[in-house]
Amino acid sequence: MSLLPEWPLAYPATGAHGVLKQHNEDFRVDELPLQMPSGEGEHVWLHIEKNGANTGWVAKRLAELAGVKEMDVGYAGMKDRNAITRQWFSIYMPKGTTPDFAQLNDEEMTVLTQTRHSKKLRRGDLLGNRFTLTLRNVAAEQASVDANLQQIREHGVPNYFGEQRFGHGGNNIESGRAMLAGEIRVRNSNKKGIYLSAVRSLIFNNVIAARIRQGLWGKSIAGDLTDDMGQVTAPMWGRGRLATTDDALALEQSVSGEHADLCDGLEHAGLKQERRAVAAVPDNLRWEWQQGESGTDLVLTFSLPAGYYATSVIREIMTTEEPERKFVHEADAVE
């Protein structure tokens, strides 16, 4: 049984259904870097294509070959495991012989470029990601899907955190609640961060859901705050007062009041109040219907800013299912 709420859609349900990630190549992600390496410096930078591999597992392999601690390996963000993704990694290696990391090439990872740079690659150091997604065996009234895609192209989608943020069936939410309530003690800092993020993301998603249920999707209300791009924002909960006023403040206080214990726990955990855009507007959204292996496929291409989820686009056009898979590498369950 899933612990996740059923967050509402912004657009009419199309009744369409398809298969997501039937093959790894159906979910392609290309990282859009914040900066390119200069070719000189204390950090080795590697552009790597991974195929069905966990980001953390790739980082561990790089650390082992380099003879460094895993903390000396940097990357801008976790990428989908059941996919073909291209992203940059950095390794702090100021001295000694630099190995040829291409010797690690196999079916799961390929080093495309090896160079150097003066800085470590840190979480969030990217502009965004470019996606090429193939949804297979789609059963749909294509006109309804096309209509929603046209609306998405113009107005974007709710910037919900994707289900992967919450763990299988939303279990990270319950673990986070138990941790904040003092019912369990979590010593692993990585797991602690995952649980805190899940709880924080739950509250954010519920604020978006409240706006949609009140007919406020795509609309500004009195007291809203906007970001540098002019997008209306919602709270990422933590210490500090809500900066909204009037109707926006009332809406956000209503949602936070329903989760008072979680909000109090996040504040005591030391997180600071932040804001995140309510809408995610995909850049250069294109789509094409194709005849696939055993039915009709829909191919989508678009880009999103860092930290935004491609699944937020997909859920507005159809429901999907994924093939059942077994975890191969340790920590796959929490990526």
Domains of the chain by residue range: 35-127, 157-280
Q: Is the dihedral of CA 291, 293, 295, 298 positive or negative?
A: negative
Q: Which residues pair with 46 in a beta bridge?
A: 89, 114
CATH of 157-280, one of 3.40.50.620, 3.30.2340.10, 3.50.30.40, 3.40.1130.10: 3.30.2340.10
Show pLDDT as tens, one digit a residue, over the chain (335 residues): 677 889 999 999 999 999 999 999 999 999 999 999 999 999 999 999 999 999 999 999 999 999 999 999 999 998 989 999 999 999 999 988 899 999 999 999 999 999 999 999 999 999 999 999 999 999 999 999 999 999 999 999 999 999 889 988 899 999 999 999 999 999 998 899 999 999 999 999 999 999 999 999 989 999 999 999 899 999 999 999 999 999 999 999 999 999 999 999 999 999 999 999 999 999 999 999 999 888 999 999 999 999 999 999 999 999 999 988 764 443 443 33
> Which fold is adopted by the domain 35-127?
Pseudouridine synthase (3.30.2350)
Identify which of 196, 125, 211, 221 has the alpha carbon closest to the alpha carbon of residue 160.
Answer: 211
Complete DSSP assignment for 238-289: -BS-----HHHHHHHHHHHHHTHHHHHHHHHTTPBPEEEESEE--EEEEEEE
First to last CA, the chain: 20
Contact status, residue 309 vs residue 162, Cβ threshold 8 Å: yes
80 in catalytic set: yes
- Name the token pair of 81: 């495991």
Euclidean distance between CA atoms 272 and 239, whole angstroms: 5
DSSP 85: E
pTM above 0.85, yes or no: yes
Task: Check 80, 125, 224, 297 and give the catalytic one.
Answer: 80
